[in-house]
Amino acid sequence: MTLLALILTLVLEQFRPLNAARYLYPLLSSLGQYFEDRFNDGQVHHGTIAWCLMVLPPVVMTAVFYLLLFALHPLAALLFNVVVLYYTMGFRHSSHFFTRIHASLRAQDLGSARKLIGEWRGHLHDQSGTEEIVRLTLEQGIIGAHRQVFGVIVCFVLLPGPCGAVLYRMAEYYAREWGQRSDQESGDFGRFARQAFFVIEWLPARLTAMAFSVVGDFEDAAYCWRTQSPLWPNLNEGILLAVGAGALGVRLGQPIIQSGEPLERPELGTGDDAEVECLQRFVGLVRRTLVLNALVLLLLSLSRLAA
């Protein structure tokens, strides 16, 4: 049932992609604002209480509802899985930026590419050259593919019913909305949201990195994982980016110009400089990783049937 739900969701998403910015994120934003208005006094423990009251009840309710539907009829539970996955997983949540940047670079429209990568990352990149834009696009694509697809799949498989997908999506969203704030008013309110997502993503990030290694250049990916990933500020992201760079045979990271200011970053990967052609290679890497995930789930399903 797990594999079938994933396949049906991916097919549905290809024919009718969900606009998360229109349907999903406003709902999560309203929910987050409700709890923030009542709990945010800049203290960690109040942020912890708000996160638990906001995230855990929907996760538990999803699990209970799934079990009730499964007891009623497995087909009803399957349809519920598809609905939940459709709203929590999908390439199209962020791939439109990737596709449009790729098209702009192929048309040699550097101005449009700069504007799009700026919108995607939330910073100005009006001084970035083609090679820098390709690097940033690959980095955003690697993180996006993991957090929109592969991370959700891992949590969906590990936890009962679709509650793992709900937990991952809500934790990821509030880690961005609360955990990345640095203003004095918020203080340490978002620290727990950031830490909770780091723990939740610990295993999915490493499983995605392993999959990238298997379907890409395994030797370089393993070397970059071991030697370069600890240099990145966020270890989970560092593992994904270092392994992705090694698997693709391209160099990522490195200093960039962001909002008119130089930003120092460690170098990731051991391959060639990033070129526009690397974007298509990344698409192939993601597709092979998705096929590998499907094969693993198929083998797990067959082993359960044989047991």
| pLDDT one-digit tens code per residue, 29-76 | 999 999 998 898 888 999 999 999 999 999 999 999 999 999 999 999
What predicted TM-score, i.e. pTM, was given to this entire model?
Answer: 0.94
pLDDT value at residue 260 = 82
Nearest-CA neighbor of 20 among 123, 91, 104, 110? Answer: 91
Q: How confident is the prediction for the chain on average, in pLDDT?
A: 91
pLDDT per position as a tens digit, 178-207: 988 777 667 789 899 999 999 999 999 999
- pLDDT band at 112; cut points 50, 70, 90: very high
Structure tokens at 71: 């007891």
Structure tokens at 166: 């709900």
pLDDT value at residue 79 = 95
pLDDT value at residue 23 = 77
List CB contacts of 210: < 8 A, sequence separation 6 or more.
Answer: none
pLDDT value at residue 307 = 60
pLDDT value at residue 197 = 97
- 267 to 115, 137, 138: CA distances (angstroms): 24, 15, 14
Torsion of CA 38, 169, 65, 24, to 10 degrees: 80
Say whether pLDDT at 209 is over 90: yes
pLDDT per position as a tens digit, 153-171: 999 999 988 999 999 999 9
